[in-house]
Amino acid sequence: MDPHRVILGEADLEGHNTDWLGMVRGASKVLLKPRNTEEVSTILKYCNDRRLAVCPQGGNTGLVGGSVPVFDEIIISTSLMTEIESVDRLSGVITCQSGCVLEALDQYAAEYGLMVPLDLGAKGSCHIGGNVSTNAGGLRVLRYGSLHGSVLGVEAVLASGEIVNCLSAMKKDNTGYDLKHLFIGSEGTLGIITKIAINCPPRPQAVNLSFLGLQTFDDVLTTFREAKDKLGEILSSCEFIDSSSMQCVEENLKLKPPIEPHPFYMLIETSGSNSSHDEEKLSSFLDYALGSGIVTDGTVATEPSRMQHIWSLRERIAEALVKDGYTYKYDISLPHSEFYKMVEDMRNHLGTGVIRCCGYGHIGDGNLHLNITTQEFDKNVLNQIEPAVYEWTAKVNGSVSAEHGLGFKKRNFMHYSKSLGAINLMKQLKSLMDPNGILNPYKVLPET
C-alpha cells in the first residue's frame, strides 16, 4: 500500500478533516489519493458494495462545510489527478483531470494565449474539479458567465463505480439530456468528477483595473450601470467593497488602499485586445464618472504588480475576516435595488454586539457577501442573524447561496430559494444515482 496515496490515522488527516474556515471538522481516518478515473471507479465500487461513505475533496477551500467529512467518511482527494489531456488552440477547449489547481491550469492556458474563464481568491489552492462541483462563480462571471456555460464536458464516476463519459469538447451537442449539468454544482453528492472539458477564451492583451471611491451605494449602482453602457464588451469585472470590509483588510492584514478613505469602493476591470482603444473608452467613462460626482476619487492600474495589489484588497477580505475570530458568512444573490439594504438592516439589527457587519462582492452579478464577525461563536448572535437573513432574502426573491453552494452548513435553508417540488425531484435524482447514499452524505439536500 503506497503510504503517499493511502493515508491512515486522524493525526495525519488534520488538514483534510478541517475546512478552510476552521469551522467544520470531521473525523475521517482514511484519505485516498487516486491518480485516475479507473482508480476512482475501483474505490467507489468497493465502498458502495460495503456501504462505506465517502467525501470527495479538491483543494478544500469550500466555505459551506461540503469538502470535509461530518463523521468518519473516507476522504477521496483529487490532488494527484493533475494531467492536462489536450489543448485545442483554435477552439480554445482544454481537457484535463479534475485535480488541476485553478491557477496552474490558467498559467498553462496562458502559454496557448488562452485563459480559464474563472477567477477567485482561492485560485492558488482550489481544483478545477472542485470549481465545477460547486459551480463556482468568482470575479469574472460578469464577462464569462457561469461554469454551466463554459464547461462543455464532464467525466464522472457514480457511486456504483460506473464511469459516465459526457466528456465532449464540442460547443454544440443536442443529443438527449445534457447530463453534465447534473454534476456541475452537485457538490460531490451525485458522482466524483474525474475530467472536464472547458471552453477557454483568448487571453486579453490589454487589461486595465480602476479602483474607485464613492460616497453612497446609489452611486455604486449608477457607476455600475454607466460602466456597462460606456465600457460595453471590454468590461470584465465589477466588484464593490464597503468601508467596514476595507477597515478589516487594513486592520488585520495591514494593506492600504491607493486612495483616501471612502464609504464605498469599486474595482472595475476592462479586458480587451487593443490597449489604446480600451484606455480611450475607460478614460472617457472615468471622466464622466468623476465629472458627474458619482465617483469622488479613483486610480487606474495597468502594471501587473499594481493590479495585483489592488486585487488583493478585494480577494483577501475573507482571510482578513477570519482574523477577527468567528465569521457568520452569507453568500446571497439579491436584486440590485435591495442589495445594500440587507447590510444596513442587519447592521442596525445587530447593533454593537458584533465586531463588524460588512458587505462586499460581485456587484456585476448581483452577489453580495454579507459577513458578520465576533471574537468567538455566539449563539445569540447567530439567532439574531438566522433565519432573519434567509427570510429577508426570500422576501425579495433572492438566493440563499449565490455561488458557494449549500454543503453541510446551508443544506437546511434550500427551501428559502427552491420549491418543495424541486427539492423532491433532487431527492429522487439522488436516490437514483446514489441509492446507498455513500456520496458526501449530510450535504446539499435537507435533513428531512
Q: Considering the complex, state which of residue 119 and residue 434 has its C-beta at the smaller distance from ligand S2G.
A: 119
Q: How far is the CB of 120 from ligand FAD (least distance, A)?
A: 4
Q: Considering the complex, state which of residue 191 and residue 361 has its C-beta at the smaller distance from ligand S2G.
A: 361
- The C-alpha atoms of residue 288 and residue 66 are separated, in whole angstroms, by 45
- The C-alpha atoms of residue 442 and residue 286 are separated, in whole angstroms, by 49
β-partners of residue 268 are 210, 238
Selection from 304, 282, 313, 260 nearest residue 210 by Cα: 282
First to last CA, the chain: 40
Per partner kind, with CB cut-offs from 5 to 8 A, the member of ligand S2G, ligand FAD, none near residue 131 is: ligand FAD
Which of 142, 318, 381, 433 contacts ligand S2G by CB under 6 A?
A: 318
Per partner kind, with CB cut-offs from 5 to 8 A, the member of ligand FAD, ligand S2G, none near residue 58 is: ligand FAD
Strands (DSSP E) found in 286-394: 297-301, 326-333, 356-362, 367-374
Q: Considering the complex, state which of residue 191 and residue 204 has its C-beta at the smaller distance from ligand FAD.
A: 191
In the region spanning residues 10 to 69, those forming contacts with ligand S2G, defined by CB under 6 A, are 63
Which of 66, 153, 366, 398 contacts ligand FAD by CB under 6 A?
A: 66
DSSP state of 28: -
406 scored as a contact of ligand S2G (CB under 6 A): no
For 233, the enclosing helix (H) or strand (E) is none
**Grid cell of 321 as nine digits:** 475576516
**Grid cell of 19 as nine digits:** 475546512
26 scored as a contact of ligand FAD (CB under 6 A): no
30 scored as a contact of ligand FAD (CB under 6 A): no
DSSP code string of 116-137: -S---TTTTT-BHHHHHHTT--
Q: How far is the CB of 54 from ligand FAD (least distance, A)?
A: 9
Query: With CB under 6 A as the contact rule, which of the stretches 25-33, 185-193, 246-254, 393-401 interacts with ligand FAD?
Result: 185-193
Which of 19, 119, 187, 331 contacts ligand S2G by CB under 6 A?
A: 331
Per partner kind, with CB cut-offs from 5 to 8 A, the member of ligand S2G, ligand FAD, none near residue 57 is: ligand FAD
CB 129 within 8 A of CB 99: yes
129 scored as a contact of ligand FAD (CB under 6 A): yes
C-alpha separations of 274 from 6, 143, 204, 270, 277 in Å? 51, 17, 9, 11, 5
61 scored as a contact of ligand FAD (CB under 6 A): yes
Per partner kind, with CB cut-offs from 5 to 8 A, the member of ligand FAD, ligand S2G, none near residue 192 is: ligand FAD
Q: How far is the CB of 181 from ligand FAD (least distance, A)?
A: 14
Which of 369, 409, 411, 443 contacts ligand S2G by CB under 6 A?
A: 369
Per partner kind, with CB cut-offs from 5 to 8 A, the member of ligand S2G, ligand FAD, none near residue 127 is: ligand FAD
Q: How far is the CB of 136 from ligand S2G (least distance, A)?
A: 8
The answer for residues whose C-beta is within 8 angstroms of residue 302's C-beta and 6 or more apart is: 206, 207, 208, 209, 275, 279
CB count in 10 Å sphere of residue 79: 17
Query: With CB under 6 A as the contact rule, which of the stretches 41-49, 133-141, 168-176, 370-378 interacts with ligand FAD?
Result: 133-141
Selection from 99, 104, 119 nearest residue 57 by Cα: 99
Residue in the shown chain whose Cβ atom is closest to ligand S2G: 318
Residue 62 three-state SS: coil
Q: Which residue has the cell 455561488?
A: 403
Q: How far is the CB of 209 from ligand S2G (least distance, A)?
A: 16
C-alpha separations of 14 from 26, 64, 74, 84, 267 in Å? 9, 18, 13, 29, 37
57 scored as a contact of ligand FAD (CB under 6 A): yes
327 scored as a contact of ligand FAD (CB under 6 A): no
- The C-alpha atoms of residue 55 and residue 77 are separated, in whole angstroms, by 8
The count of residues interacting with ligand FAD (CB under 6 A) is: 38
Q: Considering the complex, state which of residue 64 and residue 346 has its C-beta at the smaller distance from ligand FAD.
A: 64
Entry field: residues in the chain: 448
**Residues contributing to the site for ligand S2G (CB under 6 A):** 63, 121, 317-318, 329, 331, 361, 369, 371
**Residues contributing to the site for ligand FAD (CB under 6 A):** 20, 55-63, 66-67, 78, 98, 120-122, 126-127, 129-131, 133-134, 136-138, 187-188, 192-193, 318-319, 403-404, 407, 440, 443
